[in-house]
Amino acid sequence: MIKQVKVKNISEAVYSLAEPIAQEIGLEIWDIRFVKEGPNKYLRIFIDSDSGITIDDCEKMSKAISNPLDELDPISCSYILEVCSPGIERELIKDKHFQKYIGSEIKIKFIRPKENDEKEITGELYNFDKDFITIKNSDGSLTNENRKNISHVNLTY
């Protein structure tokens, strides 16, 4: 039996529960988000695999996580559970995401436009660390962008 807990960080608690379940069925957890949209709250579990994600994968994960989530009860209000793919233009969030996609085309969106009114840039993910993301531009030059100034980084396909 899973012990009932109330936690401040719902995503971390759900990740701890979901990751071994996902691995057991051949999937990985890409991200977990607990969000309010209009009157509803959603617990979104984004799953991934090297072979892509199907509706069947989402259904398997949803069924596998449903009862353990009810037992853990990390969310004290009603919510809608959604298990889905991060999509082809997935957002890169964690270091493992950046590592996996070095050499891939990305789009960086800035929190505020840069001095030249640029709101986003596109290039090849060249490198990253805790402070900067480096992209290779089409002319081969490198640009370092401070992560503090970035709102989103997505793959482009």
Residue pointed to by tokens 């199907």: 54
- With cut-offs at 50, 70 and 90, classify the pLDDT of residue 5: very low
CA dihedral 83, 100, 87, 61 (to 10 degrees): -20
Mean pLDDT, the chain, integer:
92
pTM, to two decimals: 0.83
Q: How far apart are CA 84 and CA 69, in angstroms?
A: 16
Domains, the chain, with CATH or none: 10-84 (3.30.300.70), 95-155 (2.30.30.100)
Residue pointed to by tokens 């989530």: 69
